[in-house]
Structure 1
Amino acid sequence: MTAVKSVKIDGEPIHVFKSEIYIFESVSSFTLELDLIVSEVTIRKYGKEQTLIIEIELLDGRIIESIMHVKSLAGGLPQLNLFCDVVDIDEYDDLDKVNENSTWFPNVEQGITLEEIRKIEMPNEPISLKLTLPIEQVEWLKKQKKKELNQLFSEMIYERWKKENSK
């Protein structure tokens, strides 16, 4: 079995938490499949694309470069499925081969949690709040820069969240 060492998308390295590379055999063709557990940030950046230029470095030193189709898989963890047709199956004779009747099928989600992923790369999410505050606080807030307010609220909420979750 060959394992993935690193992956680049459009020339940019991405953090891969877990991966499986294999050949999927259908009645009429073979496809090279790469299942990746990545961060939510990576999903947001690449998940809606149709095709991407992918460079896969395998542990044995081999490099696979291909234009691959993208499927963002719904489920528990942020996951990308990249695939492309294989012309010469002999190039990939060391990869596992699966089909729809196989007893073994890659389960890339096993052994990792969303919390572990977020420790490495936490996504930011925009939020709008409607508050009623004393006018002097509103005036002060309006004078602040967005970046400073984001930092202030993030720290304040994190301290409260940490206190409530440590009970």
Structure 2
Amino acid sequence: MAVVKSVKIDGESIHVFKSAVYIFEASSGFTLELDLIVSEVVVKKYKKEDNLIIEIEFEEGHLIHSIMHVKALAGGLPQLNLFCELDHPDDYYYLDLVNENDSWFPNLEEGITLEEIRKVEMPNEDISLKLRLPIDQIEWLKTQKKAHLNELVKEFIYDYWKKNHT
């Protein structure tokens, strides 16, 4: 199997934890398929796009530039499936050919955890909290900048978590 060295989406390099690239042969024709384990941040950024400009660089030196469709795959780890139709699959002789009747499909989730992915790129989510606090604390909170409060709460939660869950 060809080993992916790097992937760029719309000119931006992304961190790829695991990947599989192959030609898929179905009765309707051939498609170039790129399955990726990426961060949750990358999935969130690209999952709603219809088409992306993809650059795949392989360790042995081949380079593929293509406009590909994107699908976010359901499962335990954040995954993208990028694909495009091929007229001339022989041009990609260095890629594995997978037939729709084959039982082999790459299991990318094996050997990697969500915790390892989040060590590289931790997603941030917005949350709203309703608190009942003394008025002097509320007045102080209102004078603080959002970025400062985010850091303060994040530090408090990590410190609390370490003390109570280790």
Q: TM-score range by the shorter chain?
A: over 0.9
User: 2:48 matched to 1:48?
Assistant: yes
Q: In the TM superposition, what is the alpha-carbon distance from 1:164 to its structure 2 partner?
A: 1.9
Structure 2 runs not aligned, ≥5 long: none
2:154 partner SS: helix
Q: What is the correspondence of 1:20-31 to structure 2 with a 5 Å cutoff?
A: 20-31=20-31
- Give the Cα separation in 1 of the matches to 2:23 and 2:38: 21
Q: Relative to structure 2, which stretch is displaced further, 151-160 or 97-106? A: 97-106
Q: Which residue of 1 aligns with 2:74?
A: 74
Letter of the 1:48 counterpart: K
Partner of 2:128, secondary structure, is coil
2: distance between equivalents of 1:51 and 1:108?
23
**What is the SS of the residue equivalent to 1:109?**
coil
Q: Which residue does the alignment assign to 1:134?
A: 134
Alignment of 1:1-150 (within 5 A): 1-150=1-150
Aligned-residue offset at 1:36: 0.2
Separation of aligned partners in 2, 1:156 and 1:113: 25
Partners of 2:28 and 2:151 lie apart in 1 by 55
Alpha-carbon distance in 1 for matches of 2:28, 2:155: 56
1:152 is the counterpart of 2:164: no
**CA separation in 2, counterparts of 1:66 and 1:78?**
22
Partner Cα separation in structure 2 for residue 148 and residue 38 of structure 1: 29
Report the Cα distance in structure 1 between the residues aligned to 2:59 and 2:91, rounded to whole angstroms.
Answer: 16
Looking at structure 2, the residues matched to 150 and 68 of structure 1 have their Cα atoms a distance apart, in angstroms, of: 37
- Displacement of 1:149: 0.3
Q: How far, CA to CA, are the matches of 2:144 and 2:28 in structure 1?
A: 62
* Partner Cα separation in structure 1 for residue 142 and residue 75 of structure 2: 40
Instruction: Give the superposed CA RMSD.
Output: 0.8
- The runs of at least 4 aligned residues of structure 1 exceeding 2 Å deviation read none
* Percent of aligned pairs with the same amino acid: 69
**Count of residues in Structure 1 that have an aligned counterpart in Structure 2:** 166
Residue type of the alignment partner of 1:140:
W
When the two structures are superposed, what TM-score results if normalisation uses the length of structure 2? 0.98
Q: Secondary structure of the equivalent of 1:44?
A: helix
Identify unmatched segments of 5+ residues in structure 1.
none
Superposition deviation, residue 107 in structure 1? 1.2
CA separation in 2, counterparts of 1:45 and 1:79? Answer: 12
- Once residues 19 and 91 of structure 1 are traced to their aligned partners in structure 2, the CA distance between those partners, rounded to angstroms, is 20
Using the size of structure 1 for normalisation, the TM-score is 0.97
- 1:98-133 CA distance string (max 9 Å, x none): 122213211111111100000000000110000000
